[in-house]
Amino acid sequence: MNLDFIQKQAKSANTKMVMLVLDGLGGLPSGPNGQTELEAAHTPNLDALVRDGIAGLHLPVGAGITPGSGPGHLGLFGFDPTRYQVGRGVLAALGVEFDLQPGDVAARGNFCSLDEDGLVTDRRAGRISTERNEELCKLLEGIELDGAEVFIRTVKEHRLLFVLRGEGLNAEIADTDPQALGVKPLDVVAKTKAAEKTARLVAEFIEKAKERLAGHHPANMLLMRGFAQKPTWPTFREAYGLRACAIASYPMYRGVAKLVGMDTLHAPTTLEDKFALAAEKWDDYDFFFIHKKDVDSRGEDGDFAAKVAAIENADQAIPALMKLNPDVVVVTGDHSTPAQLAEHSWHPVPVLLHSKYCRTDEVETFGERACIRGALGPRLPGIELMPLMLANALRLAKFGA
């Protein structure tokens, strides 16, 4: 659905909307009895919601396309991710509340592990602690480059923020993360002639960082992804007339929410505490984006049982959410992360929508095969979820005479 069109149709109403994103929710049948992680999980509360609502599977970007977390969330927020594109670096910067200036080039970095032959053995450096990350970032903060100022900030665990500030910078630079093990980090490559200066600066920084990190195994090298400069986009208030907030623990998800104009609340870790924070702020906002990360993390670890447990943990918190009596609830993921693949995938993502205005379907359990039969259909474009939420919240005007 065209965002400009929805903007013209949006109207005010005294209704509350909640979008609960269980990151990486979708899976593949690889567990006991050929079930996906969601199907194997005991989810009586989600099942009750889906029986009173409608279900389906959504495509975050398009058929066959594996989305990153940024595009996956932008689609959920109604921003066509093929049109509204931004690198992960900007999201990381906004997520840690770095004051990103026009012209700055930002990238998301991973501490990683290299063996004696310079091959990547762990792209996440064993998921080092955030405290260890802070120590390593201090080693890198003193690196100086001729022609640009460098900023390094801890994000979380193995993740860090890298920012260049100077004249004539350009973010058209390819990732150095090979997205594979047993190979060397990729060279810094400028995609355009205008980015050649920036590419030289990044390459110089990485070489100096490698020298400083030597001997700090498992975090003895950096991988860079998502070079970007900050765009100017419509906000949730401008597009939908909504006072919106994000309750998310991980900086990247706070970043993508901030990019579309949501207030970002400093969230606790557990879902129960996040719902409690929503209750405290209930009168201040119309739309609540609430994020749970560990479903995705366990999928990336290839741990089927742990992903099942993370989903069950989310289900146990659902009654606390429903006590708030939201007018519209959507529960879904930004993409699929099957434990079988241990990475994001292109598979459609289960989604349920609950409101008193739903024409209920025959889906009785929240799982991939059940959702195929749901009223939302097996291939709903992810960007159509926001218009459906707005309509069920009585926030869209009639079109035409």
CATH number at residue 386: 3.40.720.10
Residues 381, 279, single domain; the answer is yes
Distance between start and end Cα atoms, the chain? 20
4 within some domain: no
| pTM, full prediction | 0.81
**Averaged over 28-36, what is the pLDDT?**
86
Give 189's Cβ-side CA count (13 Å radius): 9
Residues 239, 364, single domain; the answer is yes
- Total Cβ atoms within 10 A of residue 106: 29
Domain range enclosing 188: 91-228
7 within some domain: no
Q: Which residues pair with 114 in a beta bridge?
A: 120
| Residues sharing a CB contact under 8 Å with residue 149, sequence separation 6 or more, in sequence order | 164, 165, 166
CATH number at residue 97: 3.30.70
Mean pLDDT computed over every residue of the chain:
95
Amino acid, res. 75: G
Residues 209, 262, single domain; the answer is no
Residues 237, 380, single domain; the answer is yes
Q: Please, are residues 262 and 244 in contact by the beta-carbon 8 Å criterion?
A: yes
Residues 240, 105, single domain; the answer is no
Residues 112, 96, single domain; the answer is yes
**At 21, phi and psi to the nearest 5?**
-105, 110
- pLDDT at residue 79 tops 70: yes
Task: Give the model confidence (pLDDT) of 145-155 as tens digits.
Answer: 998 999 999 99
Domains in the chain, number: 2
For 205, the token pair is 């920084």
Note the pLDDT of residue 94: 86
Residues 293, 366, single domain; the answer is yes
Note the pLDDT of residue 346: 98
**Averaged over 81-110, what is the pLDDT?**
91
Task: Give the model confidence (pLDDT) of 225-238 as tens digits.
Answer: 999 998 889 999 99
- H-helix or E-strand containing 394? none
Nearest in space to 201 (alpha carbons), one of 177, 229, 173, 175: 173
Residues 104, 170, single domain; the answer is yes
6 within some domain: no
- Total Cβ atoms within 10 A of residue 296: 26
398 within some domain: no
Note the pLDDT of residue 95: 83
146 within some domain: yes
281 within some domain: yes
- pLDDT at residue 262 tops 80: yes
Note the pLDDT of residue 31: 66
- H-helix or E-strand containing 154? strand 149-156
Domain boundary among 176, 207, 228: 228
Note the pLDDT of residue 187: 96
Residues 210, 106, single domain; the answer is yes
Residues 97, 81, single domain; the answer is no
**Averaged over 299-316, what is the pLDDT?**
97
Residues 118, 199, single domain; the answer is yes
Note the pLDDT of residue 252: 83
Q: Model confidence at 97, in pLDDT bands (50, 70, 90)?
A: confident
Amino acid, res. 312: E
Domain boundary among 201, 228, 255: 228
242 within some domain: yes
**Averaged over 186-197, what is the pLDDT?**
97
Local structure of residue 60 (DSSP, 8 states): S
**Averaged over 109-123, what is the pLDDT?**
95
- CA–chain centroid gap for 126, Å, is 21
Domain boundary among 228, 251, 285: 228
Q: Please, are residues 385 and 332 in contact by the beta-carbon 8 Å criterion?
A: yes
Residues 386, 274, single domain; the answer is yes
Note the pLDDT of residue 46: 98
Task: Give the model confidence (pLDDT) of 173-187 as tens digits.
Answer: 999 999 999 999 999
- pLDDT at residue 69 tops 70: yes
For 80, the token pair is 């066509």
Share of the chain above pLDDT 90, in %: 89
The rounded distance, in Å, linking the Cα atoms of 78 and 382 is 8
Concatenated DSSP letters for 183-233?
Answer: SPPPPP-BSSGGGHHHHHHHHHHHHHHHHHHTT-TTS-EEEEEEEE-----
Q: Please, are residues 198 and 87 in contact by the beta-carbon 8 Å criterion?
A: no
The rounded distance, in Å, linking the Cα atoms of 268 and 247 is 8
